[in-house]
Structures are given as C-alpha cells and as structure tokens.
Amino acid sequence: MKNPYEIGESIYLRSLEAEDIEGPWYEWFSDYELTKFLGDRFLPNSKKKQADFFNSINDHSSIIFAIIDKETDKHIGVCSLSGVNWFHRYSDIALIMGSKEPQHKVVAIEAMRLLLNIAFVRLKLLNLRASYAVTNLPSATLLSLFRFEKVGLYKNLCYFDGKYTDVGLSQLTRSDWLVRNSLNLDD
Amino acid sequence: MNCEISVDLKIKEITSSVLSLPLEKINDNLSPANCDQWDSLRHMNLISAIEDQFEISFSDHEMSEMINLIKITILTKAKLK
C-alpha cells in the first residue's frame, strides 16, 4: 500500500497523486457508460484536461480519494467529499468506479463505507448530500442501501443518456449513520 | 424443516430471483467473480431484498463484507440470532 488514508478489506483510499494522471483515471471520463450520468463530463477527456483538473483541486473544500485495490495497488476508482462547508459541517459526496474487472463488481459498497467513515468520524462532518439521476439505478440503489434519505427532486433538470431526467437529492445525517451502525462515539 | 435450513433456502430463493437464475444453480460458492449475472446493481438489490425479507438492517461494515453467497448467508444468520 502507498500512502493509505483509510484502509478496508480489499481496497484502500489514498490521496490522488500526479502519477495517477498517467494511469487509467483520465480514460474513465471519456467512457460513455461511466460518464452518461455525470453533470459535467460530456466532452472527451484527455491527459492534459485531467492534469488541469488535478492541479485545480482545492484540498480545503474538495477532498478527492483514489480507490486502490489492495492486492494489486491498481487505481480502480475515485470518490470525493466536495463543496465541504467547514462552518456548517456538510459536504457533497460522489463515487465513480472505473474498473470493469469482475473482482471489482461489488467494491463500491466498501468504498462508500470507507468514505462515510472518513466524513463522519475523521472529519466529523454532520451531513452529507448526494444528487443523482433517477434513471441511474446503481447510484440510487447505493444511496438507498446506505440509508440516504430522499429529500427533494428537480424535475427534468439534466440531459442524461439521451433524455431530460429528474435529479434526486438525498441526505445522510451523522446521527442517523451512528445509530444505524451502532456507534456511540465520544464527541 | 428447522430454522437454519429455512433461512438458507430463503436466501437461495431470493438470490435466484434477483439474479434471474434457476434455484438449482444457486450454490454456496456463488459470487460476483464467478457469475456473470451478479453485477453491482443486482448485488445491491440482493442485500436490500434480504433486509426486506428478514426485516433486518445491515451495518456498513456487514454490507461491505458480503462479497459472496456464503458470507451473505453467515452474516444474515448472525443478524437473526
């Protein structure tokens, strides 16, 4: 493992590094299947654009993690806490699995677990927000599995996968997360 | 039929239904790595269907441990005790 920040059974999360630009990361954002439900990734990506993005990351308000396979040390996805508001203690959450290898089919659940642990334990955030195209069933199901509560809906807001689509808004509070995981942290 | 066997059978029936596979093809060694039908969405639907069926709620850690049918069965049974 190299520079792990949060370690799970089969994966770990670490900070993005400049060398990640050379790997598969930039290619994921040209892949239609991976990007068809993303709000701002509708143009072809390139190493140059990914390098520009990497250099623009503001660590204070946007914390982006590489998802790494522990066994191979391969970069297989990214997840983030973005728009972090340190006064109100909330952020937006996102997760993209880039790998299509069979052994990584169910890794999103572990990545989400690690990310929630970072948000609610290490960073002590109080609320997480997520938005998703209602037709994006994997995202909607993942959020539902982790008990994100649907709190709103934008009608026909975004043009995803060939049609205007409703965008759901959901929220997970730290207190609900603590109860569901039977955690009683000493705050 | 004792309780343990009925939980095993119910989990296999749910798995068969979620993965759209005949019940006789559902065995303890089944996992996403060796089953084409077992994709990420069906995996999440499977966990959700088991929670609904047995009226239980898995923790984040338990969900992330559910990487094959045998672990799903063990963790479900532990939850029901």
Q: Would the CB atoms of A105 and B32 count as touching at under 8 Å?
A: yes
ipTM: 0.92
- pLDDT tens for each residue of chain A, 187 residues long: 999 999 999 999 999 999 999 999 999 999 988 888 887 767 889 999 999 999 998 778 999 999 999 999 999 999 999 999 999 999 999 999 999 888 888 999 999 999 999 999 999 999 999 999 999 999 999 999 999 999 999 999 999 988 999 999 999 999 999 999 989 876 6
| DSSP-assigned letter for residue B28 | T
Helix extents (H) in chain A: 25-28, 32-35, 47-56, 107-117, 137-145, 174-180
The count of other CB atoms within 10 Å of the CB of residue B66 is 22
Helix/strand number for chain A, H first, E second: 6, 8
Q: What is the pTM of this model?
A: 0.94
Tokens of A105: 């089919």
pLDDT of residue B1: 53
Q: Are the beta carbons of A116 and A145 closer than 8 angstroms?
A: no
Q: Which residue of A has its CA nearest to B47?
A: A145
- Nearest of B20, B14, B13 to residue B35 by alpha carbon: B20
What span, in angstroms and rounded, lies between the C-alpha atoms of A79 and A13? 9
The shortest CB-CB distance from B48 to any of A9, A145, A181 is to A145
E strands of chain A, at which residues? 4-7, 11-15, 63-69, 75-85, 90-97, 127-133, 149-160, 163-173
Report strand pairing: A75-85 vs A63-69: antiparallel
pLDDT of residue A43: 85
Task: Round the CA-based radius of gyration of chain B to a whole number and report it.
Answer: 12
Backbone angles phi, psi at A7, to 5 degrees: -115, 130
- Name residue, tokens 């598969």: A24
Residue from B39, B60, B67, B79 to probe the interface with A (highest A Cβ count within 10 Å):
B60
Report strand pairing: A11-15 vs A90-97: unpaired
What span, in angstroms and rounded, lies between the C-alpha atoms of B3 and A158? 49
Residues of A in contact with B60 (CB under 8 A): 112-113, 116-117, 146, 180-181
Could you give the angle at which helices A107-117 and A137-145 cross, rounded to 10 degrees?
A: 50
Q: Would the CB atoms of B59 and A180 count as touching at under 8 Å?
A: yes
Q: Would the CB atoms of B41 and A138 count as touching at under 8 Å?
A: yes
Long-range contacts from B36-40, C-beta under 8 angstroms, 24+ separation: B38/A105, B39/A105, B40/A97, B40/A105, B40/A106, B40/A108, B40/A138
Helix/strand number for chain B, H first, E second: 4, 0
What span, in angstroms and rounded, lies between the C-alpha atoms of B42 and B48? 10
Residues of B in contact with A105 (CB under 8 A): 32-33, 38-40, 43
Q: How far is A102 from chain B (nearest CA, A)?
A: 5
For B13-32, the pLDDT digits (tens) are 999 999 999 999 999 899 99
